Structure 1
Amino acid sequence: MDSVQVNRAHWDERASAHAASRGYNIQGFLDDPEYLSEVVRFDRPRLGDVRGLRTVHLQCHIGTDTLSLHRLGAQVTGLDFSPASLAEARELARRAGADIGYVESEVYGALDVLEAGAFDLVYTGVGALCWLPDIRRWAETVSVLLRPGGRLFIREGHPTMWAVDETRKDGLIALEFPYFERPDPLVWDEGGSYVDTDGVQFTNTVSHSFNHGLGEIVTALLGAGLDLTMLEEHDSCPWDFYPGATVEDEQGEHRLAERPERLPLTYTLQARKRNV
């Protein structure tokens, strides 16, 4: 099975359910013109001033983080391979009165629809890299999109977390799945989603994912001409990754209920493209 086709069908089917979900809180964006997504809000102190920056949000899904960057003053373009997700993103932007452009493409085909060297900032949110089979190709794409001196900013699920078997009922942390990148995908068959979709029954239940070690990610960026300027690991993530073993804080972040210092759940990374 082709992973791109499998995953596109998976995301196309979930786009409208995600837009209707309380987890994405579309109504909050429409009610409050200053409302930001939890993902962008978490990293706002690290993100810095993005006003006026030409920004591309890779793997933007239904556009809540994209709209949040726009509200912080960035000139944003969103890119995603799911036409159904882009339809929801465009509708959110329209209803919010936000001037955001969206383009349909896989990440690896971004240069077919976007101009090389045109961006001050490449942004990627949580839960994106795991759908890409080749982290080096991703880093090369990011580098070509950026102008010299431009930066990449990403918050992502930690590869150690992706390797954990979260279905265990005993609360033990067991590393069951690959930490390092492998050529063959992990194949999942799951009927639900990571946010509450009010009992929607999905038919495209199969998805393919790929893990990438933290060293592999950093090495890929260095090899593509970017220099690391920040790498911060977090003991929390914005969803309940291990039901029954986590607690939620007032910001909507989840961490292990017992000794959360044992496990990194997400990380924030920033890198700048070299001037030469």
Structure 2
Amino acid sequence: MIKRSHIRQFLALVDEGSFTRAAQRLRVTQPTISAGIADLERLLGARLFQRDKGGVHVTERGGAFLPQARDLEARFRQAEAFGEDRPTSRAQLRVGVIGTVSTDMLGGVAQMLANGWECEFVENTDYELRAALNVGRIDLALTVLRPDDDEGRDSWQVLHEPYVMMACENHRLAGCRDVPPGDLAAEAMIARRSCEALRQTSRFFIRHGVRPRFAFRSANDAYCLQLVAAGLGITTAPISLIRSGMEVIDVTGYDLTRRLGILISPNASDSELLRSVLQQELETLSVLANVAQ
């Protein structure tokens, strides 16, 4: 007979992608997790996970079982709350987000979802978020949309914005338009290693013979942008990340853009409700995002 412990161990292993981390999450030993998963696979008559040197991966059958497992866990939580003097727990939603989303955008998405779900946010790269979506480790991803992402049912555009060159507000080129790329050759650059357009930007400046020195390199956007505002150097970033004390330098020919959007996992248990909420709220979120620029 399938027990709640089986369901909790299954979900922990899906979410963590590691027997060790799943055991730590549930505060049990790793052999306990291994034995529980083996028992669940025997009861279901299906291989739920593929184990190799790269880690633990959900199989096709495991992915098919995942929505049922999340629903069962939600029902267990509802049963625990029955008759007690506390509200019935809401459905849980795991939301992935790339680290280059503005705080305003992140807050808007959190507010949009918080009324209907108990949300847990995780940060990762676009590549890792998409992998997590495919196996159901997360239900939703706020990330950069690619040209081949389908518009409509499982892909929802929130914002289309340009990348711009940013400098402190008293920089000699702050607010200038049609600045030739060569005029930036003597400038110190701040390298945002988290930038999705890092390679394209590098190729753009190399093509124009610009090889600047770097004053700072980091994947931490808060550090990078603060140092730009302090006058240590200039950087390129999506316009939504500009902050007080910074100005745009309009560089001739530098016309990169990105589309931010929301992707829904095919394994999301509340996928239809999610789509309904997005249809109702996304236009407002997009308007707010554009106003913030």
Greater share of residues in helix: 2
Asked which structure has the greater CA Rg, the reply is 2
TM-score (norm: length of structure 1): 0.25
